[in-house]
């Protein structure tokens, strides 16, 4: 499933050759909810690489690969995740030539908390803009994960600053 999703996303990006970007991500605090237990992380730091293609109609299509890493808040365990996301949305121009992208997110995440690995499919929303060569973005995602047969939710806000159009 991971390989199929990744190769589809890569093929779509190459076929449409939109604007490429890469940058850094910060997750101020991820929240993992197992039944009645909620685990929180310290800030997670990461890197990402993606593309966005805009059409004359204002529709945007994009994708992103992201990896983040950090520590759990109430234990010494390390946590990290690897995401492959697809984006579909609309580009507005509220201020002259500065674009504002709003988009939905559908993706796959592999996470690790200590020695426990988890996988899941998720969704979310995002907003980004292009200011000069920089692309600040905010994304909120919810992933339904499975780890050792147990279900849990992975919720997070991701803040990023990317270098665009390279």
Q: Which residues of 31-55 are buried (b: 16+ CB within 10 A; e: fewer)?
A: bbbeeeeebebeebebebebbbbbe
pLDDT tens-place string over residues 8-46: 555 555 545 678 889 999 999 999 888 788 889 999 999
Residue 63 has pLDDT above 70, yes or no: yes
List strand residue ranges (DSSP E) for 4-133, in order.
Answer: 19-27, 31-34, 37-40, 44-54, 59-71, 78-95, 98-113, 116-129
Provide the whole-model pTM.
Answer: 0.85
Domains of the chain: 2-164 (2.40.160.20)
- Give residue-wise pLDDT tens across range 90-119: 999 887 788 899 999 999 999 998 888 899
Q: What is the pLDDT of residue 29?
A: 93
**Which residues lie below 8 Å from residue 5, measured CB to CB, with a gap of 6+?**
84, 108
pLDDT exceeds cutoff 90 at 79:
yes
Q: Please answer whether residues 49 and 61 qualify as being in contact, where contact means their C-beta atoms are separated by less than 8 angstroms.
A: no
In this prediction, residue 54 carries a pLDDT of 87
Contacts of 36-41 with C-beta under 8 Å, sequence gap 24+, read 39/72, 39/73, 39/74, 39/113, 40/72, 40/73, 40/74, 41/70, 41/71, 41/72, 41/73, 41/79
pLDDT value of position 73: 92
Structure tokens at 89: 């949305």
pLDDT of residue 133: 85
Pick the more confident residue, 114 or 66. 66
Give pLDDT, residue 158: 96
């Amino acid at each position: 499933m991971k390989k199929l999703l990744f190769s589809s996303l890569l093929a779509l990006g190459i076929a449409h050759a939109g604007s490429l970007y890469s940058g850094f991500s910060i997750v101020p605090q991820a929240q993992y909810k197992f039944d009645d237990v909620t685990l929180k992380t310290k800030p997670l730091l990461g890197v990402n690489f993606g593309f966005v293609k805009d059409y004359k109609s204002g529709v945007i299509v994009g994708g992103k690969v992201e990896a983040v890493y950090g520590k759990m808040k109430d234990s010494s365990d390390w946590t990290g995740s690897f995401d492959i996301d697809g984006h579909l949305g609309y580009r507005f121009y509220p201020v002259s030539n500065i674009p504002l992208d709003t988009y939905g997110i559908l993706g796959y995440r592999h996470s690790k908390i200590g020695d426990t690995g988890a996988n899941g499919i998720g969704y979310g929303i995002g907003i980004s803009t292009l200011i000069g060569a920089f692309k600040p973005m905010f994304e909120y995602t919810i992933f339904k994960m499975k780890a050792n047969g147990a279900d849990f939710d992975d919720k997070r806000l991701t803040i990023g600053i990317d270098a665009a159009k390279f």
